[in-house]
Amino acid sequence: MDVVDVIRAKRDGKALTTAQINWFIESYTAGSIADEQASALLMAIVWRGMESGELAEWTAAMLGSGVRLDLSSIEKPTSDKHSTGGVGDKVSLPLAPIVAALGLADPMLSGRGLGHTGGTLDKLGTIPGFEVDLTSEQMVKVLSEVGCVICSAGADLAPADRKLYALRDVTGTVESIPLIASSIMSKKIAEGTSSLVLDVKVGSGAFLPSLDSARELAETMVTLGEAHGVKTSAVLTDMDQPLGRTVGNALEVTESVALLDGKPPAPDLWAVTAALAAEMLHLSGVRGDPRAAVADGTARRKWDEMVRAQGGDPEAALSEAPERQDFLAPSGGIVGRIDALKVGIAAWRLGAGRSRKEDPVSPSAGVVLHKVAGDHVEEGEPILELHAEERSRFAAALEALEGAVDIGPEAPAPRTMIIETIRG
């Protein structure tokens, strides 16, 4: 088979055959197809798209490039959640111990942040001793003993995606629903979990800001999951404003633990966490009340067990930024909106994010929201508090926040966090 013929076929709008797809994925993963040729095919897919059957075969080939975890030894129903990423999206941290406390086993394979969206592994990495790089055997052991584990995906899970993802990142071929869907689902199906809930973000801080695009991605991923025997649903959630009251690695861990301790959480953070927990329970056929798991302390105990099982100290103090600066209200009134993308970029410039996957991140950098939509504010009152390791970072962060906060005379409409649920 000739890779140029495969590129031409997709360039001309034809659906790739199963043989072409399997050959390309196997050959590129093995290193026998050049990056520039793979880039050409990816760009053709961006422009021409993929038919549903073609996409299913592409995803199956990516899944088949590696192993699929065997979770048959786990006695509890297995279920996981995946988020398309956002600003202040710390839901994975409280969610995993909550559903574990309610009788599920959650093998949560997560990633690191890139750009303005935070990564779960970066957040957990601020906990002294916490180990995110586990072998498959270690992961299954923690899952069996605790009921939840949050770690990185091993190199043997969908290795084709690992190579293609890196290539897409540097060739302008990220924004393609077939490529996004196959990337996410090949890794998630490889986890071996019985059910999967997708948190698809919508709004300025989301990967796909428009509702129509987010819904198309959600429907595509649900179809792929169901086709591979994984009960799958998608919850479209609001990401037009930051989620919760903190953006940044250690800051978000602290807020998550406070939620598990039963301290009044930000209403938006709790709404999304509770909805996703309920959907995971629904798909697994398990009854349970997320609020009760927090109230009686079982969810917090599960968090402590998970942290210890992965080498961390749940009682250890987390890093705190030595430098702080307030972002002040330019006028008095009621906060109408705080733009998620602008806050995410500000946190990134403060050091909480990275431009390239190999870049380090600051554990303590980030943004604290003293005010959110609907709050009254006086002129000159702090709305946001910026945290950084060096004062030199504040100028660029403040520049990113220009126009980020709307203040007016009237309260905004109540924020709807759960937009829509799509089931297979």
Decide if 254 contacts 269 (C-beta within 8 A): no
Please state the φ and ψ torsions of residue 68, each to the nearest 5 degrees: -115, 125
Task: Give the integer Cα–Cα distance in Å for 7 and 11.
Answer: 6
The C-alpha atoms of residue 276 and residue 256 are separated, in whole angstroms, by 15
Tokens representing residue 5 in the block: 């013929």
Cα-based distances in Å from 91 to 14, 86, 95, 253, 322: 40, 10, 6, 10, 26
Rounded distance between C-alpha atoms, residue 33 and residue 41, angstroms: 11
State the catalytic residue, choosing from 10, 82, 231, 337.
82
Q: E strand or H helix at 185, and its extent?
A: helix 177-190
Is residue 187 among the annotated active site residues?
yes
**82: phi > 0 → left, psi -120 to 50 → alpha, else beta; which?**
beta
3-state secondary structure of 312: coil
Amino acid letter for position 146 = V
Task: Name the active-site residue from 89, 161, 238, 240.
Answer: 161
Do the strands 106-110 and 148-152 form a parallel or antiparallel pair, or are they unpaired?
parallel
Residue in 10, 187, 231, 342 annotated catalytic? 187
The helix (H) or strand (E) run that includes residue 240 is none
3-class SS shares of the chain: helix, strand, coil, % to 5: 45, 15, 40
Give the number of residues written for the chain.
Answer: 424
Is the alpha carbon torsion for 243, 367, 259, 302 positive or negative?
Answer: positive
**Around 347, how many Cα atoms within 13 Å sit in the side-chain half-sphere?**
37
* Helix and strand element counts for the chain (H, E): 16, 13
Is 82 a known active-site residue?
yes
Sign of CA dihedral 152, 122, 353, 358: negative
Q: How far apart are the first and last CA of the chain?
A: 36
Phi, psi values for residue 381, rounded to 5°: -80, 145
Catalytic residue among 92, 152, 183, 204: 183
Catalytic residue among 10, 81, 168, 245: 168
Q: Which residues are catalytic?
A: 82, 161, 168, 183, 187
